[in-house]
Amino acid sequence: MEWLLIMHVTDASRAMESFDLVFLRAGGTAFPWMGYETLRIAMAQAHALVGVEYVEWDPCEIELANADRSISSERALPSPEPASTMNR
């Protein structure tokens, strides 16, 4: 796996909220792991499972849900960094 996400999942119709660990491959294939009641617990589990330190997380907010309530996890992949140009 190349990436580990914590997805904040909410469902207002069922008054449900969870913080789900999701392993993600570079092509966008997602492998959901487990959901936890709090972000703190999810981060602690990520640390216990694969050693991700708290300072290694990069916070971001990306809408992954489509209009039909399906998930497009590939949107969570980082964009390639533009090649730098050097002035001569």
Sheet holding 16-24, edge to edge: 3-11, 16-24, 30-36
Cβ proximity of 1 and 25 under 8 Å: yes
Residues spanned by the domain of 51 = 3-75
- Global pTM? 0.71
Closest to 57 (Cα-Cα) out of 71, 69, 47, 67:
47
Q: Is residue 81 part of a domain?
A: no
Residue 4 has pLDDT above 80, yes or no: yes
Main-chain dihedrals φ then ψ at residue 26, nearest 5 degrees: -60, -30
Q: What is the per-residue pLDDT for 36?
A: 95
Residue 58 reports pLDDT greater than 90: no
Span 48-66, average pLDDT: 84
Residue 88 covered by a domain: no
> Which pLDDT score, from 0 to 100, does residue 88 have?
45
Residue 70 pLDDT:
73
Total domain count for the chain? 1
Specify which residues 22 forms β-bridges with: 5, 32
